[in-house]
Structure 1
Amino acid sequence: MSSVIYQGVFFLFILLLLAFPLGWYMKEIMQGRVPKGVRFLQPAERLFYKVIGPVSRKDMSAKRYILNVLLLGFFSLLLLIILLRIQHFLPGGSSVKNLTWPLAINTAVSFVTNTNWQAYAGETDLSNLVQMFGLTVQNFLSAGVGLSVLVAVLRGFSQVKKKTLGNFWQDLTRSLLYILLPLALIFSVLLVSQGTVQTFTSGISYEGLEGNNLWLYLGPVASQVAIKQLGTNGGGFFGANAAHPFENPTLFTNFIENLAILLIPVALIFAFGFWVKEWKQGRTIMLVSLFFILLAFVGVALSEYYGPEFANVLGSTNLEGKEIRFGVGWSSLWAVSTTAASNGSVNAMLDSFMPFGGAIPMFLMQLGEIIFGGVGSGLYGMLAFLLLAVFIAGLLVGRTPEYLGKKVDAFDIKMASLVILTPLMLTLFGAMALVLHPEIQSWLTNEGPHAFSELLYGATSLANNNGSAFGGLLANTPFINSLGSLLMVISRYLPMIAILFLAENMGSKKKAALSSGTLSTVSPTFVSMLIIVILVVGALSFLPTLALGPIAEFFTMN
């Protein structure tokens, strides 16, 4: 068990080491300063602004910023649905069928909202053309949108008496051109060097051991895997996702893919500290996030390392559903990374984890994907919790709630509450809708508490834009496709709208001078307060449902 802990500590050390300079670089890019090493990309940036015209040059209010975000999402959704509905007639699509309307809509919504919930097997149900020009493109765009919204939020929090939040198209272009594309290229090359498949060939025929002809699926895998991890998307080229040896062949690829999942979210916390010119503010968020992810990793690892002796023939360690080349340590670290960071990719079958080994990743999602979280969305979700903690702490000690020198008013708390409560309420609504459906038992492969865990995990994943699956739930049904589409759209865009209005309101305020009555948001006391607020919101909301699923299963097994 000690070696497993060392693995996690070593991983986090490398992660922080790489995220620090990347955070400074991202802050420079987001503020419009292009470092010398990437200035050769500036002509491409200027060309894009010329193509889209004057809309790329004007600062936008929150309403206008939101309108452009929604318009891009709508047209992305429309184009992807069309591709999925006509893929059989496109080049290279003769071996696949067009997706049904419910599945096509669900898949398109999934990738446009950065959820990447997959109710299909990519290698058999989609053509390479659609994988490249449909899904991979949306992996870039959805991550770029999340990063752009965060940039607008940071402007609002840091500027004084100004209502505009910048220009969405400039933010999106810089995010894609200077951050996501270069990083994806680097990680793609690293993956290819280790054997991750990258080819335009759809596959090769070979003779099986029994003399029958079989088909080995291939495709442009590495390029999609790189951005699915970096953009906290998670949608795999293959149905088995990162457990597939063509997506994740070695321990090294497992390490760098896991690194890619958390790299940008962690770097953004550093960027936040650099942006507001007070690293201690970023340190507060970093300490809280590290506390949760370390606690979660140790909890999952203990659960799987000391599982019941009947789990497998190797003793008490639970290796069921895990790749032997990764073992308990790397599987546990991946499970908490992907559910903390709104990524959704898996390198092990979560359905085979011990009850608490599955409950902890589920609870990380139920907190609202704020522990590092998705690209952009994780940090602005954490800022909403931080404002709530400031407000509660101010009430407790009788001080005016302030953050970054600005007073926090009723409108700010209403918008922050909307950011926090939207995924929470959608999770409970989704679980209720599934439980009440008359055919739900036929969609589950288990019974009792474990079946409820499968159902609850699915609703949690959809309502928090994660996309991972517990397993055991038949996802490709018209009802789940429709319900999932609704949950994903609301959970993605409603908090985004609320946080942009909050940012505009914060940006319009003047800064107040520090005084003895100003509440410190960088002290150990406030760090503890923020942890308690996050835990209380999560525990009060989901403890009853967790008691019906993984907690009940744990006591039943023991």
Structure 2
Amino acid sequence: MSFTWIMVLFFGFLLVTSLPVGLYIKKVMANETTFLDRFIGKIENSIYQFLGKNATTREMTAKQYAKGVIGFSVASFVFLFVLLLFQGYLPGNPNNVPNMSFSLAFNTAASYVTNTNWQAYAGETQASYLVQMLGLTVQNFVSAAVGTSVLFALLRGFKRKNAQTIGNFWQDMTRITLYVLLPLSIIVTILLMSQGVVQNLSANLTIPSLDGGTEQLIPLGPGASQIAIKQLGTNGGGFFGVNSAHPFENPTVFSNLVENYAILIIPSALIVAFGFFMKDLKQGRTIMVVSLLILVLATVGIFLSEMMPVMQDQLMASGNMEGKETRFGIILSSLWASSTTAVSNGSINAMLDSFTPLGGLIPMFLMQLGEIIFGGAGSGLYGMIVFVILTVFIAGLLVGRTPEYLRKKIDPYDMKMACLVILTPLMFVLLGSFAYILLGNPTASMTNTGPHGFSEILYAFTSLANNNGSAFAGLAGDTTFLNMIGGTIMMITRFVPMFAVIFLAGNLANKKQTSVSSGTLSTTNPTFMVMLIIVIFVIGALSFFPALALGPVAEFFVTK
């Protein structure tokens, strides 16, 4: 099947199914009746009884909501950190996996709590089954639920008027986990198991290889259940070290399409839910059109770059298949690469380090835009809404009007919070790369030098600071310096923007709604869509073009 038809069918199916899923998510988060109430309602009520009535029924101010987020996240970090440090002494470890070092446990705990899933370890040999199930899989659920909860807190801020509260964090997180993430994960798990993805508690096997001289590890374990939520929750951490390029994690073309679809369905459905929740479908359409246009263009760009590479002065007629699985080829590898970096997923089905210079530049730039093109579960959409606010503010300056969005005036406090959301990841991409080059002894951890070596460093900190988790393979991840600075950056760039969004929501909820008039700036017409795209790209280009020029752009001209 041609590239064009695969794109049309895949994105067409994604858009069609996003409508019912988005409407369902809106009903869940608006506490409306759903068809799953009779099955899940008792479990939900039991959780509320355990947490306490006051914790789950009373509305929270922005400050209280932020305290709930940070309290839960700190507890999650400590639990996972201890679990990793002592996994060698705990049950559920048939492969006798040893304890993780302090720096690796710190990095891994920070990674999963922040929805990044950056992996400086190989799951099949360095994580016990207990850690995989009770630690990593649980965090895949709850970190996605936290991001989605904060998104709906922001939407309530726009929707309410003269209010002091923005919802209840514990109730939001419980409902998104039970009614959305869990049912979808069960469906995807069953589909993956039908394709041969491993799901058992058996120990890894070691068998003689066919050449008779070496032994080969056959990794087993509870893979399908973690793989399902890692994709749906935009987490991305692989059960196996090579992630979804592993045949036990992603064995067939159908399993590849299911996982690729799972990466995008919740972010795209949240855009639809945004339109329904605000009772303004045109606002959701604006964000959907902009996101889909950029993602499709990125996919086409990667595909063309990989189909027409110049490798050692020779044009390869079949395109660049280095680092790609033959069962997926260039088309499905390009679609995955754009999807996983537009969404803050970070999983891979091909080695991005082996992509052509421009083929690797596009996924890197998608992350550098701020992970807002569909983006992570909840976090992608609230990041895009912040960019919409910035665009409205700029447009207001141009025409001399007070900026307004969703019938709320945008004041200086709102813009300060918006700047924190946009500039925090941007700043730590550059600061992290700078610090690693100067202080991290990079040449000892790199297999490549020159422009490609710099691209590996820039990509790593782009991924860390934007809570993505993917990496170019040539950079050694498990070093004390990278573990500690990477874990710190992941937490700062996750929670500083998140808290800024929560307090932005509180400020918006406290305002009155304005009346729409003939002079109100339209945020749904093609002109505004074009301006939004320009603002997104200008911020990315101005911030990162000098760094990109030293890495993938320079490498392109060197190899050419």
Specify the TM-score bucket, using the shorter chain as the normaliser.
Answer: over 0.9
Residue of structure 1 in register with 2:161 after alignment: 160
| Match of residue 13 from structure 1 | 12
Residue identity matched to 2:78? L
Superposition map of 1:91-490 within 5 A: 91-93=91-93, 95-211=96-212, 213-308=215-310, 315-437=317-439, 439-490=441-492
Is contact 1:312–1:318 with CA below 8 Å preserved after alignment?
no
Deviation by residue 1:138-179 (Cα, 9 ceiling, x = unmatched): 100101111111111111111111120111110011011000
DSSP 3-state at the match of 1:36:
coil
Cα distance 1:313–1:159, how it changes in 2: closer, same or farther (>3 A)? same
**C-alpha distance in 2, partners of 1:174/1:44?**
10
Query: Does residue 50 of structure 1 match 2:46?
Result: no
**Contact 2:164/2:510 (CA < 8 Å) preserved in 1?**
yes
- Letter of the 1:59 counterpart: E
Amino acid at match of 1:131: Q
Q: Is the 8 Å Cα contact of residues 388 and 413 (structure 1) preserved in structure 2?
A: yes
The Cα shift of 1:307 comes to: 1.0
Q: How big is each residue's C-alpha offset from its partner over 1:227-265, in whole Å with a ceiling of 9 and x where there is no partner? A: 000000000000010000000000000001000001000
- Structure 2 distance, partners of 1:374, 1:398, is 34
Give the 3-state SS of the residue equivalent to 1:492 in structure 2. helix
Match of 2:28 in 1: 29
Partner residue of 1:70?
A: 70
Q: Which residue of 2 aligns with 1:83?
A: 83
One-letter identity of the residue aligned with 2:327: R
Aligned to 1:546: 548
Shift of 1:36: 2.5
State the shift of 1:216 in Å. 1.4
Q: How far is 1:438 from its partner?
A: 5.6
User: How many pairs were matched up?
Assistant: 557
Q: Is the 8 A contact 2:275 2:284 kept in 1?
A: yes
User: What are structure 2's unaligned runs of at least 5 residues?
Assistant: none
Q: CA deviation at 1:445?
A: 0.6
Does the Cα contact within 8 Å between 2:303 and 2:331 map onto a contact in 1?
Answer: yes
CA contact (8 A) 1:195 1:246 kept: yes
CA contact (8 A) 1:191 1:253 kept: yes
How far has the Cα of 1:510 moved from its partner?
1.0
Distance 1:413 1:215 in 2: 54
More deviation in 419-428 or 433-442? 433-442
Give the conservation status (yes or no) of the 8 Å contact 1:308–1:316.
no
Distance 1:476 1:512, change over 3 A: same
| Offset, 1:314 | 6.0
RMSD: 1.3
Structure 1 residues 230-239 or 149-158, which shifts more?
Answer: 149-158
Identity percentage of aligned residues: 58
Letter in 2 for 1:166: G
8 Å Cα contact 1:311/1:318 also seen in 2: no
Q: Which stretch has the larger CA shift, 310-319 or 184-193?
A: 310-319
CA 1:244 to 1:42, structure 2 compared with 1: closer, same or farther past 3 Å?
A: same
Q: What's the offset of the Cα at 1:517?
A: 1.6
Change (3 A) 1:5 1:309: farther
Amino acid of the residue matched to residue 7 of structure 1?
I
**Superposition deviation, residue 398 in structure 1:** 1.4
**Alignment partners' CA distance in 1, 2:489 and 2:509:** 30
SS of corresponding position for 1:22: helix
More displaced 10-residue stretch of structure 1: 308-317 or 162-171: 308-317
> What is the SS of the residue equivalent to 2:205?
strand
SS in 1 for 2:86: helix
CA contact (8 A) 2:309 2:316 kept: no
Deviations 1:411-457 (CA, angstroms, capped at 9, x unpaired): 11111111010100011111111111261111111111000000100
- Shift of the alpha carbon at 1:311? 9.1
Shift of 1:203: 2.1
Does the 8 A contact of 2:309 with 2:315 survive in 1?
A: no
Deviation at 1:312, TM superposition (A): 9.1
Query: Aligned residue for 1:512?
Result: 514
TM-score (norm 1): 0.98
The alpha-carbon distance between structure 1 residues 523 and 326, as it changes in their structure 2 partners (threshold 3 A), is same
Q: Which amino acid aligns with 1:537?
A: I
Contact residue 312 and residue 559 of structure 2 kept, 8 A: no
Q: Which amino acid aligns with 1:334?
A: W
Secondary structure class of the residue paired with 1:298: helix
Other structure's SS at 1:382 match: helix
Shift of 1:316: 4.8
Once the two structures are superposed, residues 101-154 of structure 1 have per-residue CA deviations (whole angstroms, 9 ceiling, x without a partner) of: 000010000000000000010001111111111100110010111111111111
Q: CA deviation at 1:208?
A: 2.2
- The residue that corresponds to 1:39 in the other structure is 38
Distance in 1 (alpha carbons) for counterparts of 2:75 and 2:238: 23
Give the distance between the partners of 1:313 and 1:379, measured in 2 at CA: 40
Q: What letter corresponds to residue 103 of structure 1 in structure 2?
A: L
**Residue aligned with 1:116, SS:** coil
TM-score when normalising by structure 2: 0.98
